[in-house]
């Protein structure tokens, strides 16, 4: 049997195979939340995301309308991370034989609702038959100043717009005796109806040095920024847990910090920027430091002032 490495390692392998040489119109290629291509006045931002049945969702946990909504927001969130305004969306649907016309209508209505909320629309796509539902969404946007993962600067702070851990808590709560309790509602909605934070990305675009959206977990995604920028990101743990997450975690008897650090599909936007330039809607959750003893990544500060590197775990398709 051949080797099967992690998602990050496979992306690095593909980058070596497909990587551009810096010529042509490509501004940013493989390795960021989206590709950026020079065209006209503002660069074009282009990204793609797939939602696959029994990998990203189960039919008994979401409605067909929720599915269309989630798939659209997941793809559009990459535009938010790049500081881009949406131009249009294309969706490729793979549908098994048991998906009815009514099901397809519900999926499409969910897609339309999500697209409208972020100020764009579905402009094309493809239909095909398969064994399980799959929705692959291409999102197009534009920005005069695309944000990447590699620009974090020493002395800056880390700030976030959006929730952490709620989606993972919501997924765990669905189907339990607590699902319909008031303290569960924000978490369940965060899973079924996530929000691409386009406005936050635009607000931070002119002041941020680096950005990413939280799709695979805070420690993993901020780790991408730390490694791309060659820095140590030190997180302020109390700042990453909200009262809503604490209440949801209490229902689950789970660790709220673990949910915040490793839960995915929140689609919050994380940026690095000067402390005196934090936009409205963002809160500080950490700071950017030079490597410690040659180590880069994500850490927390111990009581003695030293730093403990975090395990950058999160969702990985191949582990």
pLDDT tens column, 103-157: 999 999 999 999 999 999 999 999 999 999 999 999 999 999 999 999 999 999 9
Q: Rounded to a whole number, what is the distance in angstroms from the first to the last CA of the chain?
A: 16
Helix (H/G/I), strand (E/B), else coil: 215: coil
CB 63 within 8 A of CB 106: yes
Q: What is the DSSP letter of 30?
A: B
Element (H, E) at 10: helix 7-18
pLDDT digit string, tens, across residues 190-199: 999 999 999 9
Number of DSSP helices (H) and strands (E) in the chain, helices first: 10, 13
pLDDT exceeds 60 at position 317: no
CB 19 within 8 A of CB 30: yes
pLDDT digit string, tens, across residues 262-299: 999 999 999 999 999 999 999 999 999 999 888 899 99
**Which position has the token pair 């040659």?**
294
Domains for the chain: give ranges and CATH numbers.
21-142 (3.30.1330.10), 157-309 (3.90.650.10)
The token duo for 239 is 């700042």
CA dist., res. 8 & res. 45, Å (int): 22
Q: Please give the torsion angle defined by the CA atoms of residues 146, 68, 124 and 84, in that order, rounded to the nearest 10 degrees.
A: -10
Task: At 125, give phi and psi (nearest 5°).
Answer: 160, -150
314: CB partners within 8 A, 6+ apart: 216, 217, 218, 219, 220, 221, 262, 264
Determine if the pTM surpasses 0.95. no
């Amino acid at each position: 049997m051949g080797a099967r490495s992690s998602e990050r390692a496979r992306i690095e392998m593909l980058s070596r195979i497909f990587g551009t040489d810096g010529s042509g119109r490509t501004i940013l290629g493989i390795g960021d939340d989206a590709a950026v291509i020079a065209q006209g006045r503002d660069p074009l931002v282009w990204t793609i995301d797939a939602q696959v049945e029994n990998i990203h969702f189960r039919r008994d946990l979401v409605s067909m309308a929720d599915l269309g909504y989630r798939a659209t927001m997941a793809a559009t969130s990459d535009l938010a991370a790049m500081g881009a305004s949406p131009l249009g969306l294309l969706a490729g649907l793979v549908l098994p034989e048991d998906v009815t016309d009514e099901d397809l209508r519900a999926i499409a209505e969910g897609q339309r609702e999500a697209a409208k909320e972020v100020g764009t629309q579905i402009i094309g796509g493809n239909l095909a038959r398969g064994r399980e539902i799959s929705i692959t969404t291409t999102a197009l946007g534009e920005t005069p100043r695309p944000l990447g993962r590699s620009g974090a600067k020493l002395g800056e702070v880390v700030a976030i717009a959006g929730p952490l851990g709620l989606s993972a808590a919501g997924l765990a709560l669905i189907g339990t005796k607590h699902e319909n309790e008031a303290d569960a509602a924000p978490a369940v909605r965060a899973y079924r109806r996530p929000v691409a934070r386009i406005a936050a990305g635009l607000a931070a675009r002119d002041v941020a040095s680096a950005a990413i959206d939280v799709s695979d977990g805070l420690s993993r995604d901020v780790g991408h920024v730390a490694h791309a920028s060659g820095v140590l990101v030190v997180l302020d743990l109390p700042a990453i847990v909200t009262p809503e997450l604490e209440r949801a975690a209490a229902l689950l008897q789970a660790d709220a910090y673990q949910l915040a650090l490793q839960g995915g599909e929140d689609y919050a936007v994380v940026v690095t920027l000067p402390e005196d330039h934090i936009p409205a809607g963002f809160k500080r959750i950490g700071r950017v430091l030079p490597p410690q003893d040659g180590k880069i990544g994500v850490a927390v500060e111990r009581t003695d002032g030293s730093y403990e590197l975090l395990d950058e775990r999160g969702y990985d398709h191949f582990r």
